[in-house]
Amino acid sequence: MTKTATAKELPVFIGGKWRVTKTKEYQAVFNPSTGEEIARAPLCGADIVDDAVQAAAEAFKSWSRASISHRSGVMFKYKAILEAHFEELSRLVTRENGKTLDEAKGDVRRGIEVVEYACGIAELSKGESVPAVADHIDGVTMREPIGVCAGITPFNFPAMVPMWMYPMAIACGNTFILKPSEKVPLTAIRLAELFAEAGLPNGVLNIVHGGREVVDALCSHPGISAVSFVGSSKVAEHVYRLGSQHGKRVQAAGGAKNVLVVMPDADPEPTIRAIMGSSFGCAGQRCMAGSVLLGVGEAADAVRKRLTEAMETLKVTDTSADDKAGMGPVIDEAARRRVHDYIERGAKEKAQLARDGRASVPERGFFVGPTLFDRVDPKMSIARDEIFGPVLSMMRPKTVEDAIKWANMSPYGNGASIFTTSGRSARQFTRDIQCGMVGVNVGVPAPMAFFSFSGWNQSFFGDLHVQGREGVMFYTRQKVVLSRWDDQYQRQHGW
């Protein structure tokens, strides 16, 4: 936290108005490539949450009654505006998060796809009907919005993760309070400005800033019906418990430790390319990043050799100054120190440090280079903990069965991938692996907007996941209507 007077204080967005709060405490927002402070996010409290809930509840009265074609019309307009600002938004993501411009474009693109999906809300939220469920009685179901919803998001996808939530919630007829990560609030602010340009009425989308205090206020405010959370498992569980205790529906996605299994029959070149992207893309700060590499049998030596060669070619540099950077920094100094600590711990635990990312990185900013440990034991902390940086831990199972057994020892359950040309191995893996998103020759098996983001175990707390049809179910509730119309004509004819 810092209190530098020169940096720009960010406003909250409540009831269609931007305003700077009287909050005294701020979180500095950095350009992680340079370490320069670029803004300050106020650490708001319960009073600001209450203002936002009042505004959102007022807006709900008319937005929830707006025709579905009006709501989808606003979404279509928003999608067009986002496309027009695609480059600008991507550069903003790079500036505050540090990921490369290409990665930032992926971040924004995945988010826009959710808006695109939400444009079809009429089709997505259709009910069912059964005529004549009994004499003269017809039955229909309809899905209705649930009220004021809140979203709490992490730093690693400043555009995509907020857009997993509010476009779906709003298209369903709800109003929304977004609490973006205090480390990357700038993209969320711009996304809200653009939604207002698309004709979204005041108070339908609101933005508050802060950390634990504001999150706890959102989870316990009686005026909020549902909370969507994405972040680390510890906080996900806390949000899930607190929100549920206060009678809200909660979906809370947590952390991960994803495995990449390489079989001896894998096609070498695309496999290495996929591992590089999975483990070192976004500097390893993805909940779907491959952070454990299981080189099965004779695959291990070959994969280690090719991988260390590829790692040497990765250009680690200031992403805000170089559009062709290969890998950017981690989010802040605390993250850099945490990753360094894990590298020290792995070396102490006697794993083989095949490439040390602490050397040869830019001096300014929060950089750690790509790092590879070999001959890691499944019990070591670098095999078990989510490091959330560019560190890959390699183990050497003898068979695919061992690989699956080691992978299933993880308490998490986000993603896992296998690289193979054998249908048998692929089938065995996809059936026996205990996680919600599986890749076959795909390094990051993150589903697109029309599927749900299906974390299992400690990677998800709740029932209905974000995105896709489950997203629509989460942000609506079902009403069943039984109607009796006793028709005179029918009576006359003795029906």
**Which residues of this chain interact with ligand NAD, rule CB under 6 A?**
152-157, 161, 179, 181-182, 211-212, 215, 230-232, 235, 238, 253-256, 287, 386, 388, 414, 453, 455, 459
| Type and span of the H or E element at 391 | strand 391-395
Residue nearest to ligand NAD (CB): 231
**Cα separation of 193 and 285, whole Å?**
27
From first CA to last CA, the distance across the chain in angstroms is 76
Kindly tell me which of 342 and 453 has the beta carbon lying closer to ligand NAD: 453
The nearest distance, CB 446 to ligand NAD, in angstroms, is: 8
72 vs 233, which CB is nearer to ligand NAD? 233
Count the neighbouring beta carbons within 10 Å of the beta carbon of residue 248.
23
Q: Give the CA count within 13 Å in the CB-facing half-sphere of 462.
A: 33
Shorter beta-carbon distance to ligand NAD: residue 1 or 481: 1
CB nearer to ligand NAD: give 296 or 387: 387
Contact 175, 225 (CB under 8 A): no
Nearer to ligand NAD, 100 or 285 (CB): 285
Q: Minimum distance between the CB of residue 5 and ligand NAD, rounded to whole angstroms?
A: 24
Q: Least Å distance between CB 28 and ligand NAD?
A: 14
State which residue, 105 or 238, has the beta carbon closest to ligand NAD. Answer: 238
Residue of 119, 149, 172, 287 marked active site = 287
Q: CB 178 → ligand NAD: shortest distance, Å? A: 10
Cβ neighbourhood burial of 313 (10 Å; 0-12, 13-18, 19+) = exposed
Tokens 């500036």 belong to which residue? Answer: 95
User: Residue 300 in contact with residue 352, Cβ under 8 Å?
Assistant: no
Number of other residues whose CB lies within 10 A of the CB of residue 268: 13
Q: Partners of 138 in the beta sheet? A: 483
How does strand 371-374 pair with strand 129-134? Answer: unpaired
Closest contact distance (angstroms) between CB of 132 and ligand NAD is 44
Residue 149 is among the residues annotated as catalytic for this protein: no
Q: How far apart are CA 261 and CA 266, in angstroms?
A: 10
CB 407 within 8 A of CB 439: no
How far apart are alpha carbons 213 and 43 in whole angstroms? 8
Other C-beta atoms within 10 Å of 363: how many?
6
Minimum CB distance to ligand NAD, residue 410 (Å): 13
Catalytic residues: 287
